[in-house]
Amino acid sequence: MKSKHLPVLLVAFGIFIIDQITKYMIKTSMSLHQSFGVIGDFFRITYVENTGMAFGISIGENVLFTVFAAAASIAILSYFFYIKGEHLFARLAMIIIFGGALGNLTDRIFRGSVVDFLDFEFFDIYIPQFDFLFIHFPGYSMTRWPVFNVADIAVSVGMIMLMIFVIFDKEHETGTEEIIAENN
């Protein structure tokens, strides 16, 4: 590993350590489903264990998702080393995603579930049930954001950074046009 990768990899390691320490603190100091207000009901610490994806999305088979998450983490890390150093923003985004993914993957492998604890009030969302063409939508409502953790924050922030990079990277678009022109 080249030393130029080390500072960025330390970001992933830092995210992983903070994630694991906070989860350990919650797991050892609270009972499952215990909750207490930090800022009234707006922000609570609530200990839950999640066998689904981020933000409590249920996916069915946990083993299959764990294998997929491990493969995705390896792909992200591989691509991090593949892209050139001039794309620091994109590399930072990927390493932030990797740090969060590694935190939740570690939970899945060693605990069988992910420890979540950050619990925020959310503006109420209500979508009534309806039929569209031949599809029935049963409706949806949400009054609190799904409980999440530090790793989920890292993955979300990294994905937003990656989307910003893709949208605003004019150099990348120019490079692609040059490659197409060279091949024709």
41 is catalytic: no
Of these residues, 19, 107, 119, 152, which one is catalytic? 152
Rounded to 5°, the CA angle 161-108-66 comes to 75
Q: Per-residue DSSP letters for 50-117?
A: ESSSGGG---S-HHHHHHHHHHHHHHHHHHHHHS-TT-HHHHHHHHHHHHHHHHHHHHHHHHSSEEEE
116 is catalytic: yes
Of these residues, 19, 107, 116, 119, which one is catalytic? 116
Q: For residues 98 and 79, what is the distance between their CA atoms, to the nearest angstrom?
A: 11
Q: Which residues are catalytic?
A: 116, 152
